[in-house]
Amino acid sequence: MSNDKAAAPANLRYVQYDPSKEELYMAAIRQLISKDLSEPYSIYVYRYFLYTWGHLCYMALDDADNLTGVVVCKLEPHRNGPLRGYIAMLATREEYRGKGIGTKLERLAIDAMNAEDADEVSHIRPQQLALPVIQYSFSRQIVLETEVTNTASLRVYERLGFLRSKRLHRYYLDGNTAFRLVLYLKDPAEWQSRAGLMQDPPSA
């Protein structure tokens, strides 16, 4: 990392996104992410995530309200079973990398997904799960893909406890290979013993 990098701005605020902030921040989010990530995303991709799971998006803003980092996620039941968090995008301004901003955004996102307990369950339509809505938390896992060459990203996630579960050959449009990173937040066995009504989750 070069020496002429700016030090992390002294007063970084971490702000949770919500739809009312779209006019203010959507353009900046798109710009930061398209600069950082190799995959070309259209406006529809951003809307897909931010309209439904805006509350799982966190932004790092400096004094002047400039966007220095952002994380975008979603949280959905995975194949009629456990709730699976998916980290779609994480980007930090180049000058501010290596200062823990990415890690902090990650933690906020993971904690938010973790806290989606009783609330989360009530948002899911019972028909989707084919069983009565139950007031306990499902086993939880968080998943994302990143290029095998993206060592910075790998370091952020692996330090938090993610494991490389698969290698996806030529996953990206530009031919790069990806690792799928997964984090278990709750013990599947614990979840299975309580959910007598559910089928065994298919091996994913």
Partner 1 sequence: VDMKRNLTTLCGMLGKFGGTHNLGRPVKEAFSEKVQRRLATTVPPRPMAEMSFRDAVTKLEKMLQDIHAALLVEETGAFKDPCNLVNFLQFWNVREPLTFARATLQTWLFGDLKVAPSIEKLLLKDVKGLVLREDKLLDPINWTVEVPADPRHQIARLIDNFRQKASMDYQNMYQSFNRRSYLRKAEAIDTELHELSRENWIVEEDPESEPIPYFPLTYWVYHHKVRQMEWIVELGFEQDVYAPDELALMYWYLQHLTASRVEHLKRIRLFLSNRHERLLREDRNTEKARNMLLTLGYNTNLTAEAIAIHSLAFSLFTLYSLLNYLKLLGGEDRPCSSDRLRYQLRMKPFFNISTPELPAYVDVWDPVYASGGSQEQCNKAEDALKTAKERITVLKSLGPQEMKYVGNEVEYQNRVRQMLRSCIATGLAIASVRAACAKYGSEDKADSLHKDVLRSVLNVEIPNPETRYAAQWVVPKITQKKAKS
Residues forming contacts to partner 1 in the complex (CB under 8 A) are: 40, 107, 110, 141, 148, 158-167, 169, 173-175, 179, 182-189, 203-204
Q: How far is the CB of 29 from partner 1 (least distance, A)?
A: 22
Q: How far is the CB of 4 from partner 1 (least distance, A)?
A: 30
Q: Which is nearer to partner 1, 50 or 101 (CB)?
A: 101
Q: How far is the CB of 17 from partner 1 (least distance, A)?
A: 21
User: Nearest to residue 83, comparing CAs of 136, 42, 44?
Assistant: 136
Q: Which is nearer to partner 1, 48 or 184 (CB)?
A: 184
Measured in degrees and rounded to the nearest 5, phi and psi for residue 165 equal -95, -30
User: Nearest to residue 105, comparing CAs of 120, 117, 119, 87?
Assistant: 87
Question: With contact defined as beta carbons under 8 Å apart, do 14 and 106 qualify?
Answer: no
Q: What secondary structure letter does DSSP report for 130?
A: T
Q: Which is nearer to partner 1, 94 or 174 (CB)?
A: 174
DSSP string of 75-94, one letter each residue:
EEESTTSSEEEEEEEEEE-G
* Angstrom distance (rounded) from CA 148 to CA 50: 27
Question: With contact defined as beta carbons under 8 Å apart, do 88 and 27 qualify?
Answer: no
* Angstrom distance (rounded) from CA 97 to CA 176: 23
Amino acid at 44: Y
Q: Which is nearer to partner 1, 7 or 189 (CB)?
A: 189
Q: Which is nearer to partner 1, 22 or 48 (CB)?
A: 48
